[in-house]
Structure 1
Amino acid sequence: MGVFELRPSGAPAARAPEQAVRRALLGEWSCRPPGGEALADVALRVRDFTTELARAAHELPPVPDASVTHWRGDGRHLRLADWGQTAHLTGLSLAEGTS
């Protein structure tokens, strides 16, 4: 949504009617609002993320129950920092986890 982020759905038409016309012409899939990205951009970004995730996960063991996995990003790529950590579960008894 770019400059219209967190604004009501009618904000683009009210604040920048030319953007509303542009969006109607180009369609939601292709129109990039000022400072934002088109749905096609989002789809490509999600595809890249799932591709990297699948590549990294191919070499990993199954995820332990209640574990924590941590990824670090550099703005362009994610890197696996910790996989399936369960140290936070150490010392818990079954009674502590129930109400």
Structure 2
Amino acid sequence: MSVSGFPAPGVDVAELTVVRHGQSLSNELLIAANQAGIAEVDGLPARDADVPLSARGEREAAAVGRWAASLDNPPDLVIASPYLRARHTAQAAVDALAAVGRAPEFRLDDRVRDREIGILTLLTEARLRVAYPEEVARREATGFLYYRPPGGEAHTDMAIRLRSFLTDLGEAAAGRRVLVVAHDSVVVMLRYVIEGLLEADVAEIAASGGIKNASVTRWERRGWALRLTLFNDVAHLSLEHSQDA
């Protein structure tokens, strides 16, 4: 990856760790449907915000909790997306930390919600290609970073709300260790904002397989900026993944 932008200064936290939520029911069902070329999926709620964790996701959330409780320097502030799958993953970490006498402050923040994808929400790829072929073509022509589905957001729209989030975080949590539990698009776009990535850098991350469920990404303050020290790490999930093998 070749980065030619400028990293974002002024996020005055000691450490920022971002965890993607555990596997959700939509992750499980839509991935299986896309791999099989199935157009319709049953069993999902109407709103993306209400999608729960899958059984595997519940185990991954528990593993995130054990990981958080094992840290020598655990977070003292946990912030989660209000979406159900992220809230439940974050709560597992908060509960595990409280159980070892290190209960953090816990907040929800709508600015770290998942990307809004409008009319494409919870559609399989096969259904999308039948119902909205013009959107498939526009998505491919516009590219990962700038494509905005009808009624939804481009990733660059997410960057605007995440810049606001980071600005407020730097003012309200100076010197603190912060854990954010959110979504794959949030992890990618925080890298974009914090590290000054460019379109090609973001496309490379997306093409590399994406952000894994319950993975850990961390930046630590080094001088005047946050520096990436861990990315998309799932070492803490080895036992859970062995159970699914």
- Structure 2 residue ranges without an equivalent (≥5): 1-116, 178-245
Match 1:48 to one of 161, 164, 172:
164
Equivalent residue runs for 1:71-86 within 5 Å: none
SS at match of 2:123: coil
Per the alignment, residue 149 of structure 2 pairs with 33
**Distance verdict in 2 for CA 1:62–1:40, change over 3 Å:** closer
Identity of aligned residues (%): 38
**Distance verdict in 2 for CA 1:55–1:10, change over 3 Å:** farther
SS at match of 1:51: helix
**Between Structure 1 and Structure 2, whose CA radius of gyration is higher?**
1
Instruction: Give 1:10 deviation, angstroms.
Output: 3.5
Amino acid at match of 2:161: R
Instruction: Give 1:7 deviation, angstroms.
Output: 1.7
Amino acid at match of 2:164: D
Instruction: Give 1:33 deviation, angstroms.
Output: 0.2
Do residues 18 (structure 1) and 139 (structure 2) align? no
Partners of 2:123 and 2:163 lie apart in 1 by 27
Per the alignment, residue 119 of structure 2 pairs with 3
Amino acid at match of 1:32: R
Any runs of at least 4 consecutive aligned residues in structure 1 with deviations exceeding 3 A, and if so which?
A: none
The one-character-per-residue Cα deviations of 1:16-67 (angstroms, maximum 9, x if unpaired) are: 1111111111112111001000111112211211111211223xx868xxxx
Per the alignment, residue 74 of structure 1 pairs with none
Partners of 1:51 and 1:32 lie apart in 2 by 25
Whose helix fraction is larger, Structure 1's or Structure 2's?
A: 2
SS at match of 1:7: coil
